[in-house]
Structure 1
Amino acid sequence: MQNANPSIPNQDQIRRAPKVLLHDHLDGGLRPGTIVDIARATGYDGLPETDPAKLGEWFRAAADSGSLERYLETFAHTCAVMQTEEALTRVAAECAEDLAADGVVYAEIRYAPEQHLEGGLTLEQVVEAVNEGFRQGERRAREDGNRIRVGALLTAMRHAARSQEIAELANRYRDLGVVGFDIAGAEAGYPPTRHLDAFEYLQRENNHFTIHAGEAFGLPSIWQALQWCGADRLGHGVRIIDDIQTDEDGGSVKLGRLAAYVRDKRVPLEMCPTSNLQTGAATSYREHPIGLLRRLHFRVTVNTDNRLMSGTSMSAEFEHLVEAFDYTLDDMQWFTVNAMKSAFIPFDERLAMINEVIKPGYAELKAEWLFERTAAAPPVASGSAADGG
């Protein structure tokens, strides 16, 4: 990914650039080798492959299959090996390590505690095991020369009836590693308004929450998430593009009422380009709505969703966008600052991350070309005019 324009990053610069991740599922980012190890230790014999490399390929093939049934089956396997405190702590620690190695400096990782109770754990034990894993991962990353801070988002499944219980759990642990709440699962037939009690409770408690909306179901899902439920952010939100009209050459743009509201209110959109392609919300990276939304200055963020199933990383997501839209380091910084502004930690901490970590990191990358040019210049022969001879 080399380009004559020094502001367009190469793969190495993309990896080293400080990145912020707001939408990533813990049960969608396991290392294949870890799945195999835990399955062997716990006696789970349902894996389709026991060789880590082949298992990783199976997960990606299932996610790319276009079959919702096969896609959902992938999570049955990851959740099956996340039913003990030891497993949850290991998975969370490795998640933090892997993200830090990829240049992520701040991440909010979501998971549904209710999906990890089959081994007899309580909801509280699940949360504490995951939090301990994130802290371990942060320490190991620091020992490896990387820095990352991880916050947890507790997810309630929209087809279940435990959202109030999970919201209260998120509130109890809000100063102990949990930074907010989320609902996930199939949008069609399970509108966010089914969980109004949980959202109203969180609002009374001045707590933060995001809602999966506008991925599969379209504008009504976005409208309900914002106007009925009061979401701080939209998980995906890619279908907001349905409320934006453009002419054939894209020169004339007209925003509908909902799209204008989302932009005017600076509602953060947690977009996951590769995942959106797999679910059919976009047809290619070049045609992904993120290009138009970035041009129109919506508060767009770049995310991974499920790193294992999508075979992706934050660096890979940015590589695709740089290739599709010729994005520069300034564009990467714009997306990253957007994400940090939208994080669920206190304002002064967000500001410090932007001013003391993100902006200096990008400034250093932008300056590299100045030194590369001199380093690549051929040596001047002795006695030439360059030394006054």
Structure 2
Amino acid sequence: MTHSERTSAQSTVDIAALPSVPKVLLHDHLDGGLRPATVLELAGECGYTALPAGTADGLATWFREAADSGSLERYLETFEHTVAVMQTPAGLERVARECAVDLADDGVVYAEVRFAPEQHLDRGLTLDEVVEHVLAGLRSGESQAQASGRRIRVGLLLTAMRHAARSREIAELAVRFRDRGVVGFDIAGAEAGNPPSRHLDAFEYMRDANAHFTIHAGEAFGLPSIHEAIAFCGTDRLGHGVRITDDIDLGPGGEARLGRLANYVRDKRIPLELCPSSNVQTGAVDALENHPFDLLARLRFRVTVNTDNRLMSDTSMSREMARLVETFGYGWPDLERFTINAMKSAFLPFDQRLAIIDDVIKPGYAVVMG
């Protein structure tokens, strides 16, 4: 086989083979990834009667259509139903267990799943109890996946809601559980009117504790949100960050001129937790073919592929990769690079990240690239 033939063979992606390659997921919401049948069953068990449909198929359709509004605020309303059925120990553990199993079945070998503990207190659980039950579910799911021949490791990110006033409390919770499976902290929710700098106390606490955090920024709001997340708050990663392109000018020949903030993000290798399907649904991008993922990848920003909310976007890591392949023509080496980008950016110790890259990711892609 000639070099050109080998390169062509390596580049051609067999969509059917995508579930078999190792993947790394950094941005996935626990309350956005429930199985529709589980939502229905948990609603029955806890007496929640406000579901918009009475069948699993009907629920799946409703969540997808409601999330396709093009508005982040409308998109976030869908979570009222999933959060409502995640208020009991059994509900939390089941959702977490199924999350780990579903991700492993899709070839995810490492994931960081996030959720907001403060939203799961309606039935008397404490913040610590909520986290304990989710961690128990994740560990159970890891064991179940391993028993079926799939190995996955799931770290937990604790999210504070940016419109509320509990971020310092949630940051302390994250540090309290960091040796038990919590790998970091996050803030989420509607960006407009809720700047990250409002939560400086929480971020200063995390930095003082030498703990990791990411910030939802640059999704529905532009460069000021990204600037504050980096300059004032010191974020390790950007949740979404698609609006960094507001600081990139393209010339008539396609040449790019980066502004100071975009240059800084690229120079510092600040990871972008891009979620292609979700970014279209929330209106951050008008169509997948116009998603800045490809531009940012070509400019060598540290781009990563993520699902955001698997239920609302009717997606998985394999589907996100397939959509990128079909839209931008990526090959196996590209997908391997995006996966290694994510593993480099994970909130794990360096030696553990390197071991997964060398022992799992690279051998896994070597199989499909021949």
Which of residues 22, 29, 40 in structure 2 aligns to 1:25?
Answer: 29
Which of residues 185, 189, 201 in structure 2 aligns to 1:181?
Answer: 185
Matched, 1:341 2:344: yes
Q: TM-score, normalised by structure 1?
A: 0.92
In the alignment, which residue of structure 2 is the partner of 1:255? 258
Residues 8-49 of structure 1, C-alpha deviation per residue, up to 9 Å, x if partnerless? 211222111100000000000000000000001111101011
Equivalent residue of 1:307, what SS? coil
Equivalent residue of 1:361, what SS? helix
In the alignment, which residue of structure 2 is the partner of 1:136? 140
**More moved, 349-358 vs 241-250:** 241-250
Whole-Å separation in 1 of the counterparts to 2:172 and 2:207: 12
Aligned amino acid, residue 291 of structure 1: D
In the alignment, which residue of structure 1 is the partner of 2:3? none
Aligned amino acid, residue 332 of structure 1: L
Where does 1:304-315 land on structure 2 (aligned, <5 Å)?
Answer: 304-315=307-318
Give the length in aligned residue pairs: 363
Residues 38-62 of structure 1, C-alpha deviation per residue, up to 9 Å, x if partnerless? 0011111010112001110000000
Whole-Å separation in 1 of the counterparts to 2:115 and 2:172: 15
In the alignment, which residue of structure 1 is the partner of 2:357? 354
In the alignment, which residue of structure 2 is the partner of 1:297? 300
How many angstroms does 1:67 deviate by? Answer: 4.9
* Contact 1:8–1:322 (Cα < 8 Å) also in 2: no
In the alignment, which residue of structure 1 is the partner of 2:276? 273
Which of residues 102, 118, 121 in structure 2 aligns to 1:117?
Answer: 121
* Contact 1:35–1:78 (Cα < 8 Å) also in 2: yes
Whole-Å separation in 1 of the counterparts to 2:230 and 2:74: 31
How many angstroms does 1:206 deviate by? Answer: 0.1
In the alignment, which residue of structure 1 is the partner of 2:95? 91
Whole-Å separation in 1 of the counterparts to 2:183 and 2:286: 33
Equivalent residue of 2:78, what SS? helix
In the alignment, which residue of structure 2 is the partner of 1:56? 60
Equivalent residue of 2:311, what SS? helix
Which of residues 280, 286, 291 in structure 1 aligns to 2:289?
Answer: 286
Matched, 1:167 2:165: no
How many angstroms does 1:144 deviate by? Answer: 1.3
Residues 192-249 of structure 1, C-alpha deviation per residue, up to 9 Å, x if partnerless? 0000000001000000000000001100000000000000000000000010011234
In the alignment, which residue of structure 2 is the partner of 1:80? 84
* Contact 1:113–1:127 (Cα < 8 Å) also in 2: yes
How many angstroms does 1:72 deviate by? Answer: 2.7
In the alignment, which residue of structure 2 is the partner of 1:386? none
Whole-Å separation in 2 of the counterparts to 1:189 and 1:309: 24
Which of residues 42, 46, 52 in structure 2 aligns to 1:42?
Answer: 46
Q: TM-score, normalised by structure 2?
A: 0.97
In the alignment, which residue of structure 1 is the partner of 2:20? 16
Equivalent residue of 2:183, what SS? strand
Aligned amino acid, residue 300 of structure 2: H
Task: Quote the RMSD (CA, aligned, Å).
Answer: 1.1
Aligned amino acid, residue 20 of structure 2: R
How many angstroms does 1:280 deviate by? Answer: 1.3
**More moved, 317-326 vs 65-74:** 65-74
How many angstroms does 1:71 deviate by? Answer: 2.4
Whole-Å separation in 2 of the counterparts to 1:256 and 1:18: 35
Q: Percent identity?
A: 66
Higher radius of gyration, 1 or 2 = 1
Equivalent residue of 2:180, what SS? coil
Whole-Å separation in 2 of the counterparts to 1:325 and 1:222: 26
Equivalent residue of 1:108, what SS? strand
Which of residues 228, 233, 245 in structure 1 aligns to 2:232?
Answer: 228
* Contact 2:184–2:347 (Cα < 8 Å) also in 1: yes
Q: Which ranges in structure 2 are unaligned for 5 or more consecutive residues?
A: 1-6
Equivalent residue of 1:308, what SS? coil
In the alignment, which residue of structure 2 is the partner of 1:331? 334
Whole-Å separation in 2 of the counterparts to 1:228 and 1:299: 21
* Contact 1:131–1:177 (Cα < 8 Å) also in 2: yes
